[in-house]
Amino acid sequence: GDSVTQMEGPVTLSEEAFLTINCTYTATGYPSLFWYVQYPGEGLQLLLKATKADDKGSNKGFEATYRKETTSFHLEKGSVQVSDSAVYFCALSVGNYGGSQGNLIFGKGTKLSVKP
């Protein structure tokens, strides 16, 4: 079945360090890929997405490129800030719309802590 695997956490970095959070997926169709972020005490919110191979999603300095050949969607940021401390979830959605599909399949999440 469809699944998402992301790197185990927690990840602890110093401010201005480079961030990579690995995400790989298995899907039978042509998925869209997402990164969601969960700040402490809040629900998840969309960080970025990519809908086809070689697309790059970007937002708030974060980037991820949809790599079909390696089935990956790694999240990167060149210089993290303390305010980036959160849990990051990789997710995929495979379409079968017109029917009852619609939910996302999430990875287990990676907790990032950024120290001043």
Partner 1 sequence: NAGVTQTPKFRILKIGQSMTLQCAQDMNHNYMYWYRQDPGMGLKLIYYSVGAGITDKGEVPNGYNVSRSTTEDFPLRLELAAPSQTSVYFCASSAQPKYSGANVLTFGAGSRLTVL
Residues at the contact surface with partner 1, assessed by CB under 8 A: 29-32, 34, 36, 41-46, 49-52, 89, 93-95, 97, 100, 102-104, 106-109
Instruction: State which residue, 78 or 95, has the beta carbon closest to partner 1.
Output: 95
Tell me how far apart the alpha carbons of residues 4 and 36 are, in angstroms, rounded to a whole number. 13
In the numeric block, which tokens belong to residue 42? 């809040």
Instruction: State which residue, 17 or 106, has the beta carbon closest to partner 1.
Output: 106
Instruction: State which residue, 99 or 116, has the beta carbon closest to partner 1.
Output: 99
- Rounded to the nearest whole angstrom, what is the least distance from the CB of residue 107 to partner 1 in the complex? 6
Q: If DSSP codes are grouped into helix, strand and coil, which group holds residue 106?
A: strand
99-105's contacts with Cβ under 8 Å and 24+ in sequence apart are 104/34, 105/2, 105/3, 105/4
- Rounded to the nearest whole angstrom, what is the least distance from the CB of residue 104 to partner 1 in the complex? 6
